[in-house]
Structure formats: structure tokens, C-alpha cells
Structure 1
Amino acid sequence: MGDQALVLSFGDTISEMVNVRVRQVATHIDNWSQPGVIEYVPAYTTITIYYDPLKITYQELLSVLQMIVQDIPEDTEYIGKKKEIPVYYNGADLAYVAQYNGLTEEEVIRLHSTPEYRVYMIGFVPGFPYLGGMDSRIATPRKEVPRLKIEAGAVGIAGEQTGVYPIETPGGWQIIGHTPLQLFDLSKESPSLLEMGDCVRFVPITYDEFVLLKTESYGH
């Protein structure tokens, strides 16, 4: 990818099996100290590696990476951290998601908060988790016209994906609720609350619980 990046591709479809392989290799690279490598960015089916061509050539990097991928057994166990995200289900689009799928709002909340989701990748904006595992019965298309501003903590649905906006940004996802947790904080050593490979559950909370937890999370 240009003269300073290389892309490892593990498939062309979004699946748990492909993403497990991405996580296995990414975990190995995370503990790797190769001169000239600047950073790596894992995604659904790929890992992009940025490097300094004055310190390591494309062919040298490619050779080392090919050996790494071949040496990692495909059955290597990968255990993600389990995390809970409290959600006050008060989103502006909750009623629309229910209507679109022929459900009640309570059924949407139940179906959204029941599964255990896998963080497939972090992207779009810093700390934004793309989560796999949502019940297809609440799948809803993106908005035709995106909102100019969605506040931090908004929980949304787009197609068969769900995610959480970590910072205020424009966006076209259907907003069904809000979490009081701060998903991205530059003052912390690991700014993103969620990381690729984490297992996530959404936990419904009341408005009073939301206010209390938000005060604790943001410190005001």
C-alpha cells in the first residue's frame, strides 16, 4: 500500500474465523520489536503495517512477516477481555428501529442487550468499536441523511452491526441509547476502553443510574 505500508489479507468476508486469525497475528506483532516498523492497524480481515523504508525494505519486511504468519499455529487460542457497557436505552431512533422490524421498544432492548459481542476492529474515529454478533431481528439500515452531530456515548445500529460513538462526531447510525462510560480518554495509557478481540455485553440501566455513572466516569 504505497511505499511505506504493507497489507496482510486473511480473507475477503467478515467472519469470526477470519477475525480470529487477524487477532492471533496482531497479538504476535504487538510483542514484536522489528526495526523500521512504525505501527500496525488491524481490521475485519486485514492488518496494515506502516514502516520506514529507509530502515527496512518492502521485501525484507514481507519475508519476516511471511515467516511469522507461517509459524503461528492456526489453532492458537486467543482470549479477549470481557467487558460490560451499561446503556440507558433512550435513543432518538429506538422507536424507528422497533417499527422497522415489527417489534416493541422493549423487544429491541432485550435483543440488543442479550448477545455477547466481539470487538472486530477499532476505527472510523479513535476508540469506535465495530461489534459482531448482533441479532439480525433488529438489523436496521443507516440513515439516508447522517446527523451532523452525535454525542459521545451514543449506541447505534447500522445494518447488522452495532457500535458506540466514543467522541462527538457526525454519523448515520440509528441511535438507540447512550452509555455513561468514557470510551476514549487521551489522559490514560490505553486511551481506548475497548480493544480488538474484547467480548462485550450491553447492560440496560435507568436514567438515575446513567447520571450517576456518567458523573463517576467523566469526573464531573
Structure 2
Amino acid sequence: MKCRTYGDRGVLLSSLSEAERSRLLHRVESGLPPACDEYVLGYDSILLIGAQTIAVQEWLEQTNGTEVRAIKPSGCRIIEVDYTGADLDSVAQACNLTVTEVIELHSAPVYTVRMMGFSPGFPYLDGLDPRLHLDRRSSPRDHILPGTVAIGGAHAGIYSVASPGGWHLLGHTELNLFNLDAARDLDPDPAQVFALSVGQRIRFQPMSTP
């Protein structure tokens, strides 16, 4: 694990192992370091906004004795997917599979929400079958609809809002991942704003097949 000052008012904890990431996430959810306003979770990092390096180092010494716990253990949420995505055929060809096999491989695993980004509510999902690992598209699309289910690199994901994107599109879900109206509240409840959260487990269920 690396600890360094980040900008004018932040400390970045990076190069975290799975155990360190789990331990630290549990700790920040229980109580932030002194002067820390909020935290931002990365793939293998945690940014502590407003914190000072010395205070964080002391906080880390206390954290090292914290028992490792799983991140937000939860049941498995089923998300129905209409597998009619624009890239199904090209993914099948690139992976030397049939379209049916792509759908079966994508819908078989139980995924875990690793982190949220690059847009509000977009989940990066661990658990994608290695046979579906593909580099992102060389030519990103200008506009992808919210609810689009996609894969990119070693991850699966769901586009939460309309945005550009370079992932391979497999299908669509009616699940609303980002509730803009709830986000506009003066004191928004994250559970009302975002359909998914870090550590949550999900599984895709096909609605239809070609």
C-alpha cells in the first residue's frame, strides 16, 4: 500500500491488496480519519478528501488491527437483460464463440460490484468469464443509451446514463441505475439515488435469445 498527499487537500491510498481494500473500506464506512470530508473508492485505491497525511498515517496504524471483513455482503440481485446488443455478433466472432455461447457465458457468473464510475451509478463488475475478455472498441460510440449492458477488458458493466462509450454492447436492461430526481434532494439517500452499490452481487438473466 502506498500513502501520499493528493492535491491541496487529500490523501491517496493506492496499490491496495484485496485484504487492504476490504479492511479500509470497512473502516471508512465506520468512521473517516480526522478532517476527512468524504472518500472516493477506486479499483485498488481510496482517496480521502480533506485529510492530512500525518493524521491518515496514525489512522492507518489503528486500522491495521481491524479484522478483515467482506465489503457489504448481500444477496444476489437478478437483473433481466434483453440480449439484442449491437456488438453480439462481433463479440462472438472475436471470441470464437456463437452468439448463444456469449449470452450463456455472460449470464452464468455471479458478479460483484467492484467500484462505481465513470458516470453516476455505472458499476464495474468483477466476475466476467475470461473467454469474454476483450479490449475496448478502437472507435468509441458517441451515444449509448442508459441501461445498456456491456463488456470491456476484464469487466462487465451497465451504462447508467446516456453517454459516449467504448465497451462492447450485449443487451439492455430496464433497471434504472441512477435516479436523478432523488439525487436533487437537499440530503439525498444513496440507496434511493443508485440502484447498485459497491460489494453488491448481481446476476444477469436473459429475457430473450436470438
Q: Same fold (TM over 0.5)?
A: yes
Deviation for aligned residue 1:167? 0.3
| Structure 2: gaps (5+ residues) | 1-5, 183-188
Deviations 1:16-36 (A, max 9, x none): xx3453133212212215552
Equivalence for 1:113: 107
What root-mean-square deviation, in Å, do the aligned CA atoms of Structure 1 and Structure 2 show? 1.9
Task: Report sequence identity in percent.
Answer: 35
Q: Please tell me whether residue 204 in structure 1 is matched to residue 206 in structure 2.
A: yes
> Does the aligned pair in 2 maintain the 1:118–1:199 contact within 8 Å?
yes
Equivalence for 1:4: 9
Q: Which amino acid aligns with 1:80?
A: P
SS at match of 1:203: strand
Q: Which amino acid aligns with 2:195?
A: L
> Does the aligned pair in 2 maintain the 1:7–1:47 contact within 8 Å?
yes
1:68-83 correspondence to structure 2 within 5 Å = 68-74=62-68, 76-81=69-74, 82-83=76-77
TM-score by length of 1: 0.81
**Equivalent-residue separation in structure 2 for 1:166 and 1:45 (angstroms):** 22
- Note closer, same or farther for the CA distance 1:123–1:183 as it changes in structure 2 (3 Å cut): same
Equivalence for 1:43: 42
Equivalence for 1:215: none
- Note closer, same or farther for the CA distance 1:86–1:121 as it changes in structure 2 (3 Å cut): same
> Does the aligned pair in 2 maintain the 1:119–1:129 contact within 8 Å?
yes
Equivalence for 1:25: 24
**Corresponding pairs, count:** 195
- Note closer, same or farther for the CA distance 1:45–1:24 as it changes in structure 2 (3 Å cut): same
1:61 alignment partner, one of 56, 65, 82:
56
**Equivalent-residue separation in structure 2 for 1:159 and 1:33 (angstroms):** 33
TM-score by length of 2: 0.85
Q: Please tell me whether residue 143 in structure 1 is matched to residue 100 in structure 2.
A: no
1:182 alignment partner, one of 172, 176, 180:
176
**Equivalent-residue separation in structure 2 for 1:160 and 1:48 (angstroms):** 23
**Equivalent-residue separation in structure 2 for 1:123 and 1:8 (angstroms):** 18
